[in-house]
Homo-oligomer: A and B are copies of this chain.
Amino acid sequence: MEEEPTRIMLAVNQSTIKGYPHPSISSKRAFEWTLQKIVRSNTSGFKFLFLHVLVPDEDGFDEVDSIFASPDDFKELKKRDNARGLHLLEYFVNRCHEIGVACEAWLKKGDPTEVICLEVKRVLPDFLVVGSRGLGPFKKVFVGTVSEFCAKHAECPVITIKRREDETPDDPVDD
């Protein structure tokens, strides 16, 4: 009866509190929710496609105290960024492996909203799951929301999963 598994794309990002390789509260919540409410015990019926978008530091502030003495120093830097992102993906791939659900994971660089929509176009998932901090309209103005943009522009069905209230940090902009 079952042929191809349902391909669920999940856009994941790192914790703003603990940094790489820790997943953000909302990414983790979106993943666990999908397992619990959609995949359930039907582990062979689904495949996760994890995408993490590395955001190039806009102003280079992250590297203000670094010393660059040779071209290799810049290469090292790029490697380090990629490695951080890979460790984040590793978290999700490990969880899938434990549970026995198929998955694929990959990194891209750029503006998350744009890249996620482009990747949807390219890999054609059955649907996209995005986590959301569930910020009110006031906070949204300042921080933007990737989830809202994707829900509007991605060319596949999108399901947005908010964090649970008891998981919201003191500053809700944190994640």
Q: Which A residues are closer than 8 A to B by beta carbons?
A: 1-2, 6, 33, 37-38, 40-42, 45, 126-127, 151, 157-162
Contacts and interface: CB of A to CB of B under 8 A. Distances in A.
Determine the main DSSP class of A at the interface with B. Answer: mixed
Given A37-B127, A126-B37, A157 B161 contact: yes
A38 B38 contact: yes
Contact of A6 (B2, B6, B40, B157): B40
A143 B57 CA distance: 43
A6 B42 CA distance: 13
Contacts of A6: 37-38, 40
B45 A127 contact: no
A151 B132 CA distance: 13
